């Protein structure tokens, strides 16, 4: 019995220890939000994930911001000017900007932040965000000192950016957390570990109160924020909910006001149960199947690529397989991008029958038929939706063309490694989401030499149109060049765009101020509780 | 005894080294790296990042770097949680797993032994059949089914308990995860106790005890309990292992920031150092617990001698 008693004592001690260190539920009126993965860091220059950026947008503030419905609005800068050649941007900061510790926020802090982003010793994932600033590329590759970056602060309230080429989307880049300012003293004191509770000094509507990795992040109101009077919600808790079903259960139990997503399988039921609380909106992201253009059978075989692309019934996939309001994709750039009208693939205008006929003819021209069917592998990363799409496409190809596609599912990191090698891949599933609201974030992916160019697409015509667009001062002309570039690319069929993403949230009826936007940004400072709350 | 302990600790070093070397090789052999993503990085940015984490060095050199860090008690920086050390991440996560596991174990022992004993004393009655039926169900249904079912019933429908973990204060948040984790163990321990207790109760010395005029309660408590507990004690090892692995699932479902959850996340993210750190930590823990058990055995059983 002695051993049992000793064991009992051990257990009692452990249970006792359990009662310490609780994380707070927050005061009444705390906004409870779901977050689909744990942010890797809250260091604005080192963060990479969408989830980290979501939290950092509550903590920090850039020169420019977005309204709830996705229009650019002044943030730390009250106004800005662009030089005639489009290569010099001057931002004028608001008067009396302060950090969360009460110290003055000056233009130097923006300069310090941007320098830290491109500095090779920071090893920032988003260092390329400011690649169009003077000397940025040379600094990141380690050839030029960081002080040469094309950003300066002529006085405490003015930030000047100098560019090497036309970047009409520059202003929208400055909403991205990687361009946020940094509090130099905090960085000097704590080094790379500065983005922790008790250390982080922020300049946005909220400050960091607590962070239990893998569990929750608590924010509270920043009293020194310039627009503090307009911030309605005092405290925000982000709950890390990796499993979408667990998140849904917490919403159902009334423990969350806003979810980060909605589980795919229960979508129809949720729509029925929650009606208006379900917010589905177009999102800047495209899901596609890419061809490996460096190897047969797809290398130099545009007819075959076109045949496979045309045989995919995108309506069926968007409607029956994903079924959450996704738009079928006949272009690479999604609808709803600023100052851009995506051209559609030529066959989009054809009916289903005609498409299939053309596809069959092209397939035959490419040298395949019932006696010699195309045998390929279709790779995707293990995930229920991906599997359903792959199965659907496999059967479309088989029925219409007689293609024998083998499905290969791989863990995400394995698929990424295979795509990067471009050795064994033939057709693979991937996606791209925009970093800013401009067609460039999509089209630049397929430029020769782009690291994200998974199909290894190269086209001189496409590249030169992209280069022409980059030199254009006239926005209307630039738009035409970009659209022409996409038209050229689509006609080469390096990818099969399948559908465009939608953002999906459940938003409690207690919450006001929610707006749908293509970037899926939802600043907590723009939300509020209804008066009855 | 001191000499024995020291020898055992020295003997554990090659074991740990082997575990570390194997784990190191395996995490690096897995395809993909910690910084791969659909948003592929431009080459010079990727080179900067690789250099920052010394991933550009040859593998043997990285291994030596890791070992020399270990000697200084440094498990290295996390590749995913920039600016965090693996040591601090484990330090924050392990208490949650320990609490959860200890509470589940305590619950399993108390209820399992109680129900098993009661069933053994009422063999063949309806009570016995209900307990054993429940135990069979508990063993058969996996944790990932029990957990959502309990959440749906007790948190979503009845709203008696919270559905999640973060932001919930007090002990209520422990109820569902601990119950989920303990249920299969309760079932197993109840079955073990019942069988063992029935065996012991049929022995001669128990009949003698009854013949001396002792009541059932005294017979069970004083004479039958200790020998009946031996199989349960032997089961403690596998039970702890089951609870540790079971907690990986439970921590995921309830979003509890414990070590199991960190391990899965680390493996999926190719956070080499975090995965290695947890392996090293668990390996050391197991070596230490084994040592402790061996020493305790000597304290309990006078026949054991240390050499």
- Chain B residues touching A138 at Cβ < 8 A: none
Q: Which residues contact A276 (CB under 8 A, 6 or more apart)?
A: A509
Which residues of A are less than 8 Å from B37 in CB distance?
A: 48, 416
Determine the distance in angstroms separating the CA of A417 from the nearest CA of chain B, rounded to an integer. Answer: 5
Indicate whether A323 pLDDT > 50: yes
**What's the Cα-to-Cα distance from B254 to each of B166, B181, B212, rounded to whole Å?**
9, 11, 53
Q: Which residue has the higher pLDDT, A246 or A151?
A: A151
Tell me how far apart the alpha carbons of residues B193 and B109 are, in angstroms, rounded to a whole number.
Answer: 10
Task: Look at A326 and A4; give whichever has higher pLDDT.
Answer: A326
- Predicted pLDDT at A230: 94
Tokens 């949650």 belong to residue:
B96
Taking an 8 Å cut-off on Cβ atoms, the answer to whether A3 and B296 are in contact is yes
pLDDT score recorded for residue A3: 47
**pLDDT single digits (tens) A26-59:** 667 899 999 998 899 999 999 989 999 999 999 9
Convert the pLDDT of each residue in B262-274 to its tens digit: 888 888 888 889 9
The alpha carbon of residue B40 is apart from the nearest alpha carbon of chain A, in Å, by: 5
Token pair listed for A478: 């630039």
Nearest neighbour of A125 by CB, restricted to B41, B105, B151: B41
DSSP code for A402: -
How far is the C-alpha of A120 from the C-alpha of A103, rounded, in Å? 29
- Residue A472's pLDDT is 83
- Interface contact A253-B98, CB threshold 8 A: no
Residue A17 pLDDT class (50, 70, 90 cuts):
very low
- Distance CA(B245)–CA(B286), nearest Å, equals 14
* Rounded Cα–Cα distance for residues B139 and B239 (Å): 12
Contact B254 A15 (CB under 8 A): no
Nearest to A213 among B89, B159, B170 (CB): B89
- Rounded to an integer, the average pLDDT of A192-200 is 92
What rounded mean pLDDT belongs to chain B?
Answer: 85
User: What band does A16 get if pLDDT is binned at 50, 70 and 90?
Assistant: very low
Taking CA A519 as the corner, what is the angle to CA A514 and CA A520, rounded to the nearest 5 degrees?
40
Question: Which residue of chain B is at minimal alpha-carbon distance from A241?
Answer: B255
Across the interface, of B82, B95, B162, the residue whose CB is closest to A17 is B95
Q: Is the Cβ pair B165, A215 closer than 8 Å?
A: yes
Most confident of A11-15, A312-316, A447-451, B5-9: A312-316
Query: pLDDT-based confidence at B171, cuts 50/70/90?
Result: confident
Strand extents, DSSP E, A75-214:
77-82, 88-93, 151-155, 158-162, 206-212
Q: Which residue has the tokens 């959440």?
A: B151
The answer, yes or no, to whether residue B291 has pLDDT greater than 80, is no
Q: Which domains does chain B have, with CATH numbers?
A: 94-256 (1.10.3720.10)
* pLDDT above 60 for A19: no
Higher pLDDT, A15 or B223: B223
Q: Residue A24 has what pLDDT?
A: 42
- What percentage of residues in chain A have a pLDDT greater than 90? 75
Length of chain A: 533
Express each pLDDT in B143-160 by its tens digit.
888 888 888 888 888 888
Region A329-336 average pLDDT:
93
User: In chain B, which residue's Cα lies nearest the Cα of A190?
Assistant: B83
Question: Residue B233: which pLDDT band, with cuts at 50, 70 and 90?
Answer: confident
Judge whether A110 and A150 are in contact, CB under 8 Å: no
pLDDT of residue A28: 72
Measured between CB atoms, which of A8, A127, A243 is closest to B253?
Answer: A243
ipTM for this model: 0.78
Question: In this complex, which of A7, A24, A47 lies closest to B169 when CB atoms are compared?
Answer: A24
CB contact under 8 A, A194 and B83: yes
pLDDT, mean of residues A448-458: 92
Instruction: Please give the average per-residue pLDDT across A505-511, as a whole number.
Output: 95
User: Does position A431 have pLDDT exceeding 90, yes or no?
Assistant: yes
In this model, does residue B307 exceed pLDDT 70?
no
Percent of chain B beyond pLDDT 90? 17
Q: For chain A, give the mean pLDDT.
A: 91
Contacts of B167 in chain A (CB under 8 A): 23-26, 32, 216, 237, 239, 255
pLDDT at residue B299, as a whole number: 64
> Cα–Cα distance between A407 and A387 in angstroms, integer?
9
- Residue with token string 């990932």: B144
Residue of B nearest to A34 (CA): B166
Among A79-88, A378-387, B180-189, B249-258, name the one with the lowest average pLDDT: B249-258
Residue A336 has pLDDT above 90, yes or no: no
Cβ of A451 within 8 Å of Cβ of B98? The answer is: no
Chain-chain contact of A17 with B166 (C-beta, under 8 angstroms): no
pLDDT for A361 equals 95
Q: What is the pLDDT of residue A304?
A: 95
């Amino acid at each position: 019995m002695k051993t049992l008693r000793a064991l009992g004592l051990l257990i009692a001690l452990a249970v006792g220890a359990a009662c310490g260190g609780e994380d707070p539920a927050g005061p009444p009126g705390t906004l409870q939000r779901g977050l689909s993965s744990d942010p890797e860091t809250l260091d604005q220059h080192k963060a990479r994930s969408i989830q980290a950026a979501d939290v950092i947008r509550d903590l920090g503030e850039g020169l420019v911001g977005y309204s709830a419905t996705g229009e650019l609005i002044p943030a730390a800068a009250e106004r800005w000017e662009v030089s005639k050649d489009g290569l010099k941007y001057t931002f004028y900061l608001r008067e009396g900007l302060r950090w969360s510790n009460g110290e003055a926020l000056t233009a130097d802090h923006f300069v310090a932040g941007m320098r830290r982003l491109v500095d090779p010793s920071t090893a920032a994932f988003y260092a390329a965000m400011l690649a169009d600033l003077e000397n940025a590329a040379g600094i990141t590759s380690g050839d030029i000192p960081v002080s040469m970056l094309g950003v300066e602060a002529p006085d405490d309230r003015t930030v000047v950016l100098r560019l090497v080429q036309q970047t009409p989307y520059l202003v929208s880049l400055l909403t991205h957390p990687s361009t946020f300012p940094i509090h130099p003293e905090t960085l000097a004191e704590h080094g790379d570990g500065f983005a922790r509770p008790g250390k982080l000094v922020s300049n946005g509507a909220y400050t960091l109160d607590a962070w239990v990795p893998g569990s929750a992040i608590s924010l509270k109101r920043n009293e020194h924020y310039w627009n503090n009077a307009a911030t309605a919600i005092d405290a925000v808790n982000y709950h890390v909910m990796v499993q979408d079903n667990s998140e849904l259960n917490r919403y159902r139990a009334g423990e969350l006001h806003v979810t980060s997503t909605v589980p795919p399988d229960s979508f129809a039921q949720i729509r029925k149960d929650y009606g208006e609380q379900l917010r589905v909106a177009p999102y800047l992201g495209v899901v596609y199947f890419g061809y490996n253009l460096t190897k047969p059978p797809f290398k130099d075989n545009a007819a075959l690529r076109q045949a496979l692309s045309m045989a995919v019934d995108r309506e069926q996939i968007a409607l029956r397989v994903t079924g959450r309001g996704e738009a079928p994709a006949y272009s690479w750039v999604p609808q709803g991008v600023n100052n851009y009208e995506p051209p559609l693939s030529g066959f989009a205008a054809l009916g289903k029958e005609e498409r299939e006929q053309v596809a069959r003819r092209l397939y035959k021209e490419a040298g395949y038929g019932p006696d010699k069917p195309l045998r390929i592998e279709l790779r995707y990363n293990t995930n229920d939706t991906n599997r359903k799409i792959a199965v659907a496409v496999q059967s479309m190809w088989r029925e219409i063309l007689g293609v024998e596609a083998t499905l290969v599912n791989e863990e995400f990191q394995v698929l990424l490694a295979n795509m990067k090698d471009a050795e064994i891949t033939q057709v693979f599933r991937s996606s791209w989401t925009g970093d800013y609201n401009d067609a460039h974030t999509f089209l630049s992916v397929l430029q020769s030499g782009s690291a994200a160019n998974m199909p290894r697409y190269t086209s001189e015509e496409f590249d030169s149109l992209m280069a022409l667009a980059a030199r254009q001062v006239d926005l209307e002309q630039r738009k035409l060049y970009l659209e022409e570039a996409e038209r050229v690319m689509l006609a080469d069929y390096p990818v099969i765009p399948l559908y465009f993403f939608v953002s999906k949230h459940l938003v409690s009826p207690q919450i006001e101020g929610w707006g749908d936007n293509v970037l899926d940004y939802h600043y907590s400072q723009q939300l509020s509780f209804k008066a009855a709350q | 005894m001191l000499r024995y302990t020291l020898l055992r600790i020295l003997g554990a070093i090659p074991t740990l080294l082997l575990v570390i070397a194997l784990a190191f090789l395996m995490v690096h052999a897995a395809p993909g790296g910690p910084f791969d993503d659909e948003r592929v990085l431009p080459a010079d940015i990727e080179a900067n990042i690789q250099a920052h984490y010394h991933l550009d060095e040859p593998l043997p050199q990285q291994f030596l770097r890791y070992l020399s860090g270990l000697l200084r008690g440094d498990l290295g920086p996390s590749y995913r949680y920039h600016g965090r050390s693996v040591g601090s991440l484990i330090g924050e996560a392990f208490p949650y797993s320990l609490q959860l596991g200890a509470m589940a174990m305590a619950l399993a022992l108390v209820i399992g032994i109680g129900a098993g004993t009661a069933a053994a004393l009422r063999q063949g009655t309806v009570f016995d059949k209900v307990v054993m039926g429940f135990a069979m169900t508990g063993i058969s249904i996996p944790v990932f089914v029990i957990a959502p079912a309990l959440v749906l019933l007790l948190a979503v429908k009845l709203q008696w308990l919270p559905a999640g973990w973060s932001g919930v204060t007090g002990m209520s948040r422990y109820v569902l995860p601990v119950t989920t984790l303990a249920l299969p163990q309760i079932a197993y321990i109840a079955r073990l106790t019942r069988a063992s207790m029935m065996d012991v109760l049929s022995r001669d010395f128990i009949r003698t005890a009854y013949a001396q005029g002792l009541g059932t309660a005294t017979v069970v408590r004083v004479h039958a309990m200790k020998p009946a507990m031996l199989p349960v004690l032997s089961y403690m090892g596998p039970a702890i292992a089951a609870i540790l692995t079971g907690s990986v699932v439970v921590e995921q479902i309830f979003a509890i920031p414990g070590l199991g959850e960190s391990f899965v996340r680390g493996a999926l993210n190719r956070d080499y150092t975090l995965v290695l750190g947890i392996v090293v930590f668990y390996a050391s823990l197991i070596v230490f617990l084994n040592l402790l058990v061996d020493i305790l055995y000597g304290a309990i059983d006078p026949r054991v001698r240390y050499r």
